[in-house]
Structure 1
Amino acid sequence: MKTVKLNIPKLVFFLILLPIVFGANKVTAQNVLDDIYQPEHEPVRKPVPYNYLRQADVMWKKKLWRMLDLRQKINLPLYYPTEPIDNRYSLIDLIIYGVENESMTVYDPDADDQFTTQITLDGINDNFGVKSDTTWVEDLETGEMKPKVVINERRTYEVLRYLMKEIWYFDKQRSMLQVRILGLCPIRMYAKEVESSDGMEDDSGGKDLTMKQVLWVYYPAFRNLFATHIVFNTKNDAERRTFEDIFSMRRFNSIFLKKQMFMTIV
């Protein structure tokens, strides 16, 4: 009887090479990149730390409230996209993402603007007008009409303005006039609806919109989240700015609303 000797090293090499040869043409989602490089900078970016500040260094400061209108051209990067695209969010969608997925804290605008009372996700939905309604649908098997609960979607695209709270101060140690943002309050603008015999009707007359403050964001707590998410740059796709860049470089337009004075003379 003739015996066959096996070449163990060659057999092992063949078994290793076999899946590589037959799987070379297989394309999976992991090796498909819709770009020319893998983004490395934005996901790990961190905001520039604030300078150390003592009370003795502040010889003058003023608390201001500003209004940002997202319908102005320079403010459009804060409004679009109205739905998340390629891991890009609008500012309000990013804030809600932080609340839902990062367990970040936001505050009730109906209480005050001093970040004292927290608001839950259900409270945010109430401020967005998210309500449940009951409609009747036909059962395809029995033909009977059955009630079905329908929940309205959260219309974040209705946020067209932001109230900004900030402090301007003069640092005598550095001889500089500087500013720090304290908070942001998204303002929802929508046409008020009233119940009538014909159903829901627009009560705005096509002219005025009702404004509703949704929540207050304590800005220093959200800086890390803002620094890792980019906004769309119409001039250069390779130079992507983050939300933190927009606010720290003051790349927005606003109008002055009110002020509160604090004076310290040393």
Structure 2
Amino acid sequence: MNWRNLILVVALGLSSTYTFAQSNLLNAKTPDLIGKKTEAELVADNDKPLPYGYVHDRDILMGKRIWEIIDLDERVNFPLYFPVEGDVMLTKERQPLYNILINGIRDGKITEVYDSSYFTDKKSLADIEASLVWVDTTDVGREYFNAGETIPEEFITKTEIKAIDVFSYRVVGYWYFDKRQGELKYRMLGIAPVVPDVYTMNNEEKDYIDLFWVYFPAVRDVLHEAKAFNDRNSAMPFTFDHLLNSRRFTGVIYLEENVYGDRLIKSYMQENAQMQLLESERVKEKIRDFEQDMWNY
């Protein structure tokens, strides 16, 4: 891949990015002015995501759809997870990716929401909310219910999925070799938060589900407005759109489109985590080697 072009794109995108937590920090006369952009900044701030270039089907020499899982225990993936509930840094301007997505869906800014990574059947807000909250009663509460009496609130338990409960993210993208530009490129297609099934939250062994899939090109404007923390330079945060498009995360391939009906790697490398990781690396190297082989004679 031509990394110089990738670095140039990221640099151009970041050049128009202002701080979210420290904007106007040096000019603020009172604490409430910190983080608020001046009128001049608002005028000069061209906050739009860098548009994708048009790619004709005939320009794609090779293409492969790939599914990856982003482990939020990996340090490099922390900007996608933090801050969570209870953190002092959790503010309106600084939110975890999960909050950005779920709030965008609730506000109607994100509408391209689906139940799978193939983006065929849409998922409604009501369906999502049903997967987020579970209300139950204790044994004492059931006695009130069986007696036909009103159940006191202290005997009603409410379990809710929050950002702190997000286990990982799944992403699907398309690797393709652009023969016009002669390089391997990546286009993210969708992302899904992986959370515990709310009905198993209190169990020792939880079941995990893909809460929803959002079509990535349709949510770029929302993700561009939200900023992720830059550990190397807090004065220049990344937008979530830049972070994901430039692949500033680490992921493990768990599926590639294949002739067997897109079977999972773990379905043919069963009960052997090491072999699954090696197979994931094999798929990665196969895609990477295609570009390298183009320049070997």
Same fold (TM over 0.5): yes
Query: Which TM-score applies when normalising by structure 2?
Result: 0.63
Q: Which has the higher contact order (CA 8 A, sep 6+)?
A: 1
Do the aligned residues in 2 keep the contact of 1:66 with 1:255 (CA within 8 Å)? yes
Offset from partner CA, 1:77-132 (integer Å, 9 cap, x none): 000111441421111110011111134224343xx42112111222112223x123
Residues matched between the structures, number: 214
Counterparts of residues 1-266 of structure 1 (less than 5 Å): 32-34=32-34, 38=38, 40=42, 44-83=46-85, 84-109=90-115, 112-128=116-132, 130-133=133-136, 146-148=150-152, 151-189=158-196, 193=200, 202-204=203-205, 209-260=206-257
In the TM superposition, what is the alpha-carbon distance from 1:177 to its structure 2 partner? 0.9
- State the SS of the aligned residue for 1:104: coil
Q: Tell me how far apart the structure 2 counterparts of residues 223 and 156 of structure 1 sit (CA, whole Å).
A: 20
Offset from partner CA, 1:135-191 (integer Å, 9 cap, x none): 789xxxxxxx84356554332321121111000111111112111001011111469
Query: CA 1:99 to 1:159, structure 2 compared with 1: closer, same or farther past 3 Å?
Result: same
5+ residue gaps, structure 2: 1-29, 142-148, 260-297
Query: CA 1:48 to 1:261, structure 2 compared with 1: closer, same or farther past 3 Å?
Result: farther
User: More strand per residue: 1 or 2?
Assistant: 1
> Residue 195 of structure 2 aligns to which amino acid in structure 1?
R
Q: Tell me how far apart the structure 1 counterparts of residues 45 and 129 of structure 2 sit (CA, whole Å).
A: 29
User: More helix per residue: 1 or 2?
Assistant: 2
Give structure 1 regions of 4+ aligned residues with deviation exceeding 3 angstroms.
35-44, 133-137, 148-154, 189-194
Q: Tell me how far apart the structure 2 counterparts of residues 125 and 253 of structure 1 sit (CA, whole Å).
A: 29
5+ residue gaps, structure 1: 1-29, 138-144, 195-200
Q: Tell me how far apart the structure 2 counterparts of residues 71 and 256 of structure 1 sit (CA, whole Å).
A: 16
Query: CA 1:211 to 1:152, structure 2 compared with 1: closer, same or farther past 3 Å?
Result: closer
> Residue 113 of structure 1 aligns to which amino acid in structure 2?
S
Counting aligned pairs with the same residue, the percent is 27
